[in-house]
Chains A and B, each alone.
Chain A
Amino acid sequence: MRKKIDKEEQRTDERAPTGLARKDLLGIRELTSAEIVHVLDTAETFRDISQREIKKVPTLRGRTVINLFFEPSTRTRTSFELAGKRLSADTINISASTSSVTKGETLLDTARNLEAMSPDFIVLRHPSAGAAHALARICRAAVINAGDGAHEHPTQALLDALTIRQHKERIEGLEVAILGDVLHSRVARSNLHLLTKLGARVRLAGPGPLVPPELATLVAGGAVRTAHRIEEAVEDADVVMVLRIQRERQTSAFFPSLREYAVHYGLTRKRLSAARPDAIVMHPGPMNRGIEIASDVADGTRSLILDQVANGLAVRMAVLYLLAGGSALAQAQTRAEASDAAEQRRDKANKNAAQLALLEPVPAG
């Protein structure tokens, strides 16, 4: 097992300068900060496409994306589907409402069957942590983790980071509060890794059973701390991220009632007032208005919840594009590194031009 990790690290180190040169995107924890920044930079260029009249480029023409969703999802699935379509890939959605155990066919058999149809990407959402890893081991297709149990949801963290960067112009040095059910949240885990890799500090807060203090040990360097009072976490924060309370977990007695949760842990305008005056509010959706977030906060001027959705599309386009090879990009970068500073600037322009050429609208017909 140790050997495998070493190999993984080595591969990342060797190829880090060229960006996301890996077969799969399984989590943020494995990514270097350079890779993360590279995805974010690429996503910036993709954001414009969705603003055009013709929202489609030929970049991934002839490629196939299978969205394999074992959990209900509107936002993420639609986002991946549109991301694929806007890059001219053929996208197919498979929704399985149950896990393999009850369905009769195992996850790996499902994957092998899909694999036999030679897809280029499998986007997997699954209720069990590690499901995407299992798939990645047996599939030639690039596997993108769209949420595995309580483990990771890397594209969500990337879109969150893109949103933060857009509004704060940096991530380093920011104080980010993440509120709610951190224990069961893949969004929180991915964000924890991403934000600390890029130099932010994170405070986690929520009811005791949902915010175990050991969470602070997940990231080295003391960049994460936990609190049980929302006020403590929100104070002077630059960013306040609210997690969704999964109503179905209420029966597991993690907290007494939704009413009590709303009173003690919901993000209200009053609680938010302790944050920095320019603090932004985020939520991965879908929201439980009046429970984890008050409507006036959700709809308020500081709320970036809809920006997050728009950025989600750009990030997923970037991820598909970069995993597909991003070879033109990689070559441009390698050239850039070899030349001196002046040439680098010129090459970067070339690179951007090369990249943008790929992003020209699909010719009519």
Chain B
Amino acid sequence: MRLLIANGYVIDPTQGINGGQNLLIEDGRVAALLSRGDDVPEGAEVFDATGLIVAPGFIDLHTHLREPGQEYKETIQTGALAAVAGGYTSVCAMPNTDPVNDNPAVTRFIIEQAEAAGLANVFPVGAITKGSQGKELAEMGEMRRAGIVAVTDDGRSVPSAGMMRRAMEYARGFDLPVMDHCEERTLTAGGVMHEGEWSLRLGLRGSVALAEELDAWRDCALAELTGARLHLAHVSTRGAIEAVRRAKERGLRVTCEVAPHHFTLTDAAVEGYDTNTKMCPPLRSEEHRAALLEALADGTIDAIATDHAPHHADEKALEYDHAPNGITGLETAVGLALDRLVHQGVVGLERLVELCSVKPARIFSLKDRGTLRPGAWGDVTIIDPDLEWTFQAACSESKSRNTPFDGWTLRGAAVATIVAGRIVYRRSSEQTAAHAR
């Protein structure tokens, strides 16, 4: 099986490639990068990428697929479809399912379901502690053997510093990155939005930025103590960025990700009480957003991750206080990154590819991904950086519609997604959702 992606503009920072080339994929793997003038190899299907960017497949480090247990919000199949529709060839499934992915049986179930769906690659992330309760370590070694790529108790932090230390020491033995949702809960108790001018104005209980910052500093210090690989999930505050910057200066193995909604929106968006502006960590003030943009530009932030968190419309139709945290993100992330980062001059296309593919592959050690080197998996994201399109939540491939970006017109989109040399998604000319099998 051969696929030639012809006439595209290949951007692959791992090989220093930034120019017009043809990409040949054979039997699921990258076979060669050819000159545009070369003959079409025999029997190859041709994908014409004229005017488009050809990048190593985008990887989302932070996806909630909800299965097992909350299939009414999302299934691995619908989540994987939303992923490829948004340009992601791989997603990392958070463990806060029901039951929690804290044992190899759940890990294997997720992998099986993903294989059955046959769309995006799904890499399960295991829990740090049993039931993510923060009390006893989960069986990381067994889950590692079953296929997890990292551990996290995402949705909540590991409240005890002592437990976090043990987790890091133990995970280090399996070379598993420890991913943390930074939130000192005694500071955020009851908070439903960022604490600041807007929370005071709207009369909603605030969640202070320091809660994230304090845990970020704690985790970085523990990473230094233990030598573990630490990845901070969805950083949203100036102080957490500062903690990561300092850790990197000290040569620690610390990385972090940012979610598109945090670099796009501020807490002012909560006015009107749309529960699709409620997530954890919350939308922050402009000061914090500016710090994120700066950190995206200077390299402190390693990855863009969606924190795709589907919820049923009925759940989001509750009062702001009671609506669950989280928004969908797989189908808007690339558009927002192109529109808000690339076209605003915050980062260049090459850096964007690093943020969405190269670095994520390295952070979770996803072998032969995040690159188009010969021999790597034939995972490719095809981008039209100038396509103007309007996101319609109603046309989303996700089972859920909880997004604050419904009706937003963005410049730039992923237009085709190729997994192991197979075109799994192709944006139709009407720019509506439709996938090619």
Contacts and interface: CB of A to CB of B under 8 A. Distances in A.
Determine if chain A interacts with chain B. yes
Interface of A: 1, 4-5, 29, 99-101, 106-108, 126-131, 133-134, 148-152, 183, 186, 189, 212, 214-215, 217-218
Given A100-B318, A106-B317, A218-B197, A1 B203 contact: no
B71 interface: no
Contacts of A126: 319
List 7 A-B pairs, minimum CB-CB distance, nearest first: A130-B273, A151-B203, A128-B319, A150-B203, A129-B203, A128-B321, A130-B320
Given A1-B271, A134-B273, A215 B200 contact: yes
A150 B273 CA distance: 13
B202 A151 contact: yes
Most buried by B among A29, A128, A183, A218: A128
B314 interface: yes
A99 B269 CA distance: 25
A234 to B, nearest CB: 23
27 contacts: A1-B269, A1-B271, A1-B272, A100-B318, A127-B321, A128-B322, A129-B203, A129-B204, A129-B273, A129-B320, A130-B320, A131-B319, A133-B272, A133-B273, A148-B203, A149-B203, A149-B204, A150-B203, A150-B204, A151-B204, A152-B203, A183-B200, A186-B203, A212-B200, A214-B197, A217-B197, A218-B201
A351 B44 CA distance: 84
Interface residues of B, number: 21
A4 to B, nearest CB: 7
B274 interface: yes
B273 A218 contact: no
A211 to B, nearest CB: 11
A218 B200 contact: yes
Contacts of A127: 321
A186 B201 CA distance: 10
A5 B272 CA distance: 9
A350 B4 CA distance: 84
A107 B318 contact: yes
Interface in B183-212: 196-197, 200-205
A70 to B, nearest CB: 10
Main secondary structure of the interface of B (DSSP, over half): loop
A183 B206 CA distance: 11
Interface of B: 196-197, 200-205, 269, 271-274, 314, 317-322, 404
A218 B200 CA distance: 8
Nearest to A190: B203
A286 B320 CA distance: 27
B200 A130 contact: no
A218 B197 CA distance: 6
Most buried by A among B197, B203, B317, B320: B203
Contacts of B197: 214, 217-218
A291 to B, nearest CB: 23
Nearest to A4: B272
Contact of B203 (A5, A99, A107, A189): A189
Given A152-B203, A183-B200, A189-B203, 9 more contacts: A100-B318, A108-B317, A126-B319, A129-B273, A130-B273, A130-B319, A149-B203, A150-B203, A151-B202
Nearest to A8: B272
Nearest to B268: A1
A81 B94 CA distance: 51
Contacts of A218: 197, 200-201
Contacts of B205: 150
A149 B320 CA distance: 11
Given A5-B271, A106-B314, A129 B321 contact: yes
Given A1-B269, A1-B272, A218-B201, A100 B196 contact: no
B322 A99 contact: yes
Contact of B322 (A29, A101, A150): A101
A266 to B, nearest CB: 24
Contacts of A133: 272-273
Given A130-B273, A133-B273, A134-B273, A100 B200 contact: no
Contacts of B201: 29, 189, 218
B406 to A, nearest CB: 11
Contacts of A29: 201
A156 B204 CA distance: 19
Contacts of B321: 127-129, 149
A5 B270 CA distance: 12
Contacts of B271: 1, 5
A323 to B, nearest CB: 20
Contacts of B318: 100-101, 106-107
Contacts of B322: 99-101, 128
Contacts of A189: 201, 203
Contact of A128 (B196, B314, B320, B404): B320
Nearest to B320: A130
Contacts of A152: 203
A152 B182 CA distance: 32
A127 B271 CA distance: 18
Contacts of B317: 106, 108
A218 B404 CA distance: 25
A29 B201 CA distance: 9
Contacts of A148: 203
Given A1-B272, A4-B272, A217-B197, A130 B202 contact: yes
Nearest to A108: B317
Contacts of A183: 200
A149 to B, nearest CB: 5
Contacts of A131: 319
A127 B205 CA distance: 12
A203 to B, nearest CB: 16
Contacts of A101: 318-319, 322
A246 to B, nearest CB: 14
Contacts of B269: 1
Nearest to B193: A129
A149 B318 CA distance: 14
A147 to B, nearest CB: 10
B314 to A, nearest CB: 7
Contacts of A212: 200
B319 A100 contact: yes
A134 B273 CA distance: 8
Contacts of B272: 1, 4, 130, 133
A139 to B, nearest CB: 14
Contacts of B274: 1
B182 to A, nearest CB: 23
Nearest to A182: B200
B187 to A, nearest CB: 13
